[in-house]
Copies of this chain bind each other. A is one copy, B any other.
Amino acid sequence: MSNLLIRNVRPNGGAPTDILIRDGKIEAIGQNLQAEGVTVEDGLGHVAIPGLVEAHTHLDKSVWGMPWHENAKVATLRERIDFEREKRLEIGIDPHRQSMRQAIQLAANGASHIRSHVDIDTTHGLALMEGIIETRAALDGVIDIEIVAFPQSGLVTRRGTVELLDQALSNGAEVLGGIDPCGIDRDPKGHLDAVFGLAEKHGKPIDIHLHEAGELGAFSMEMMFERIRALGMHGKVAISHAFALGAPDYLRVAGLIEQIAELDVRIVTTGSPSSTVPSIMRLKDAGVKVAAGCDGIRDTWGPWGQPDMMDRARILGMKNGLRRDVDLEHALHVCSTGGADVMDIAGYGLDVGCNADFTLLVGETLAHAVVEVAPRPLVVKRGRVIARNGVAEVAIP
């Protein structure tokens, strides 16, 4: 089942070649490969890239595939958080069903890996995460899902949340989340001490939401840098959003990026069109590992987004003002290999010996494939064809 020969594809837009897969891994890449008793697929000359990586989403939040959710609120951040927490089950956002829908569509659109933040709070305990764990098991061999235990409603200010996060890290979450230490918990020291303490206890990495802009976000980053240095957590911390890096003060941002590079802090960006976002080209020049994500897709927070990392590559490229082919290629890199770098995904790549996780793209070149809106002709996960022309070969609930 996981043996496959794909003829006539163009890895990263290069010359046409064949890819032979055995036991879910790439065994050979070359012209006119021969193999007995192996299913053969025609790649029709399409571009091939390693699997897209959705490095920041919320599989437990989407109403995708449900009746339209009307948003009539002019709400504060806190009101949005409270509304979602208290109404999500009433609205019918079943975490297993909804995460299945979103994850399968991400896979059909060429993603091989997802990092999903999942809400952990005193209203739901670990129940939401259990729905995602069920999805992870159901989609074994279709798409890999990594779970971040995420204190959306706050951590210090809601007693019992630290204990729940502790349990989540023992029961299936690979990463510990956090959120706006100043903005949400109003206690940056308390929030960050709790997050770094738990991560150290479990020996697990951190991925913290940091929407705080300007000097406030810079302050929270510096608080994180101090703890990374003190605990030796180089390469173990990611900052999602990092809107403070989009601030206009070039030198202030340079000082932050210098420390991010030194501490191997990873940055995860959504390229949010309405926010100040980090420059992916500037972070590239500084040698920082950068991933991208679609964030929430059509949820109680907002209506935007597609479960499609090529759609995100376009949003990211437009927001970053990219025009040159080589820069468009970097936007695609951020949405694929950059995600693997940030998440430390083993066996990732379109090379002999790597896991056979890849997608075909429509386009003459990589840059063309970024801007061309078209379904993925073929998606392969561990050597198995899991989608054709944007349609999953897996049932969607």
Q: Are B368 and A68 in contact (CB under 8 A)?
A: yes
A 356-382 to B, binary, CB cutoff 8 A, 1 in contact else 0 = 000000011101101101000000000
- CB within 8 A of A364: which of B67, B303, B314, B326? B67
Q: Are A364 and B68 in contact (CB under 8 A)?
A: yes
Q: Are B273 and A324 in contact (CB under 8 A)?
A: no
Q: Are A303 and B371 in contact (CB under 8 A)?
A: yes
Q: Are B306 and A373 in contact (CB under 8 A)?
A: yes
Q: Is A71 an interface residue (CB 8 A)?
A: yes
Q: Are B326 and A371 in contact (CB under 8 A)?
A: no
Q: Is A304 an interface residue (CB 8 A)?
A: yes
- CB within 8 A of A304: which of B74, B306, B317, B324? B317
Q: Is A319 an interface residue (CB 8 A)?
A: yes
Size category of the A interface is: 35 or more
CA distance A70 to B327 in the complex (A): 12
Q: Is A219 an interface residue (CB 8 A)?
A: no
- CB within 8 A of A319: which of B273, B302, B326, B328? B273
CA distance A304 to B315 in the complex (A): 10
Q: Is A323 an interface residue (CB 8 A)?
A: yes
Q: Are A324 and B373 in contact (CB under 8 A)?
A: no
Q: Are A365 and B314 in contact (CB under 8 A)?
A: no
Q: Are A371 and B325 in contact (CB under 8 A)?
A: no
CA distance A323 to B300 in the complex (A): 9
Chain B contacts of A251 at CB under 8 A? none
